[in-house]
Amino acid sequence: MRAAALRVELRLPGPQSLKAKRAVLRPVVEGIKRLGSYSVAEVDHHDLWQRAALGVAIAAPDGKSLGMQLSKLRNYLDSCLEVEVVDLFVTEMEEPE
């Protein structure tokens, strides 16, 4: 079993209020959840209009599958026109044998 914890720093150029930020961020979070069995939460920048940080947890049976899941997530984020990925931090964990 392999797992990864990600912190995704996003810039949202459009919103001019927190309500507008949530309207942009909600479909992005739901889209990530639809990609697979990912856990997603907004973890920072709650009070900023044009910044967001998402925490994402991914589990996979092996390293190859985990790599494919990470690529799928990155491709999805790159295709979201309303957000810009500023930084992506990945911490991979391996189940002890």
The CATH number of the domain where 61 resides is what? 3.30.70.1120
- Residue 62 domain boundaries: 2-94
Residues 67, 33: Cα–Cα separation, whole Å: 17
Give how many domains the chain has, as a whole number.
1
What is the pTM for the complete model shown?
0.85
pLDDT in tens, the chain (97 residues): 888 999 999 999 989 999 999 999 999 999 999 988 899 999 998 899 999 999 999 998 888 988 899 999 999 999 988 999 999 998 887 665 5
Name the burial class of residue 41, with classes exposed (0-12), middle (13-18) and buried (19+) by CB atoms within 10 angstroms of its CB: exposed
